[in-house]
Structure 1
Amino acid sequence: MHNYANSCKLTIWVPNFINSHAISGLASLVLLNLNRCGICDEGCEKLEGLVKLKVLNLGFNHITDACLVHLRELINLECLNLDSCKIGDEGLLHLKGLLQLRSLELSDTAVGSNGLRHLSGLRNLHSMNLSFTVITDIGLKKIAGMNSLRSLNLDNRQITDNGLAALTTLTGLTHLDLFGARITDAGTNCLRCFKGLRSLELCGGLITDAGVKNIKDLKDLTLLNLSQNGNLTDKTLEIISGLTALVSLNLSSSRVSNAGLHHLRPLQNLRSLSLDSCKVTACEIKKLQLAALPNLVSVRPE
């Protein structure tokens, strides 16, 4: 998300005891934070006049699709946060004209596969969070043409290998979160298409050492989270030992052991290592840190 802290003519943060009626007359706003303010649909018509807005945070409020009608004229919006709002597919229709949008947060909403068709024309969208929605594999086909996407969060148990396969056209992705998705070793073949990935989270529990082989050539990775995959062994540490750009690595709740720790020695840029609930001891990790990984500042278990 663009940092507007030094570029806004006027910004405002509205505390939770002020309702949406209080924003009338602030036509010069470019940033408006109404996060957790208890706002409902009533009064949202006041948003229509804020045509200079570039950043709007409506997260964790009680608004529904009826509120989104009043956002249609905010054509300068670049960042919109609707996290945990009571919106669904029909509301997304009112966003299709916001062609300047670069970041869209839809986590923990009732948005489903049908609604994504309204977003397919947002050609400037760089970041989209669809975690904890009701989107399925079918829906992902509707965003397969959004080549501007760089960051995509699909932490969702309804997403499988088929959904990931539908996204292989998004070759510009740099951040992909599949934390809870049901991706198997077969599905990891799709990851080869995302050669520029810098951040990958794949924690659905279905990956084995064989699947990790499809990650070993993603040389730009700085963050890799493969936690909760209980079948990963020390072989995984050997496979990823060539990912020397890694800064953060999480293999918690796997079968990694002390015997495999030496494979991490080439990862000289590593600053964070999480191996909770593995067959490793804090003592052995400390030895590795002292002998080969001096940049480590965050280690679990400690």
Structure 2
Amino acid sequence: MGGICSRKREQQVMEDDLHRGVLGRYCRSTSTKWPGAKSFRSKPNNFPGGGTCPSLMELCIHKIGEDFRKYDSFSMLPPDLSQQIFNELVDAQCLTEAYIEAFRDCALRDVLLGEYPGVNDGWIDVISSQRSSLLSVDLSGSTVTDKGLRLLKDSSNLQSLTLDYCDQFSEHGLKYVSGLLNLTFLSIRKSSTVTPDGMRAFSSLVNLEKLDLERCSEIHGGFVHLKGFFLIFCSIF
């Protein structure tokens, strides 16, 4: 477990990109559906003849993806395999609040659900069950509330948290973020819920390297709470 938690973020991103392309990096869209969403059954079959034979791992992941509704839990699988299955289901836009339950206690490292439809506090309960394995979470565009942020407070190794366009939590919810002492990246773009008092929570994030508060209209003089943070790049425009 220690090896997983100490991984460099750059190494993780490179490995994830090799396994699954650049999944999980989505921009805000006016559409409620991901334009890249696809069905597992529509995935082209390059074998036999004329193409590259898929690996056994790829075939297994594809088959599980087709039949994922048959499984109650993936927690008995190796974490790396559960992660790839999760990524594929997100990419295919197959997950719902009911089906994400199968990933409870799977030791996922990355839960990247930016702009994914229907994400709410019910999803956070499963996300938080990954506990110390969890390194990166993107909940952009979700309806996460103070209750959901409270559930994340025990994700002690979380390094990256993105809450862009989220406006259902308050400064009380940000107090739970203050306990995520391993955070190096925090983004809460275009949110009217970040107030000067709420920014007080960021003062305890001693490992923070980048704080993105672009277009947060209510922060005003809140940066006084970040006095002495020399390595933070703050984007507010």
Q: TM-score, normalised by structure 2?
A: 0.67
The 1:42/1:223 distance shift into structure 2, 3 A limit, reads closer
What one-letter code is carried by the residue in structure 2 that aligns with 1:144?
Answer: R
Question: 1:122 and 1:46 mapped to 2: Cα distance?
Answer: 32
Query: 1:93–1:118: 8 Å Cα contact kept in structure 2?
Result: no
CA–CA distance in structure 1, aligned partners of residues 157 and 102 of structure 2: 22
Matches within 5 A, 1:219-234: 219-234=181-196
Residue in structure 2 matched with residue 218 of structure 1 by the alignment: 180
2:110 matched to 1:133? no
The equivalent position to 1:166 in structure 2, one of 117, 123, 126, is 126
Contact 1:116–1:139 (Cα < 8 Å) also in 2: no
Gaps of 5+ in 2: 1-11, 16-41
Partner of residue 141, structure 2: 180
Shift of 1:161: 0.4
> Which residue of 2 is the match for residue 197 of structure 1?
158
Map of 2:3 onto structure 1: none
Larger relative strand fraction: 1
1:122–1:184: structure 2 CA closer, same or farther, 3 Å change rule? same
Count of paired positions? 192
Deviations 1:71-127 (A, max 9, x none): 4xx2356xx9xxxxxxxxxx966147xxxxxxxxxxxxxx99837758655413256
Q: Cα–Cα, structure 1 residues 49 and 117, in superposed 2: closer, same or farther, change >3 Å?
A: farther
Q: Which residue of 2 aligns with 1:123?
A: 78
Partner AA of 1:173 in structure 2: L
- For structure 1, the 5+ residue unaligned runs are 5-38, 51-70, 81-90, 97-110, 277-302
Match of 2:27 in 1: none
CA distance in 1, matches of 2:45, 2:104: 36
What is the percent sequence identity of the aligned residues? 19
Q: Secondary structure at the match of 1:249?
A: strand
SS in 2 for 1:190: helix
How far did 1:145 drift?
Answer: 2.9
The corresponding residue for 2:48 is 45
State which structure, 1 or 2, has the greater radius of gyration over its C-alpha atoms.
1
* Mapped partners of 1:116, 1:153: distance in 2: 22
Q: Which amino acid aligns with 1:178?
A: L
Task: Judging by fraction of residues, say which structure has more helix.
Answer: 2
Q: CA deviation at 1:205?
A: 2.0
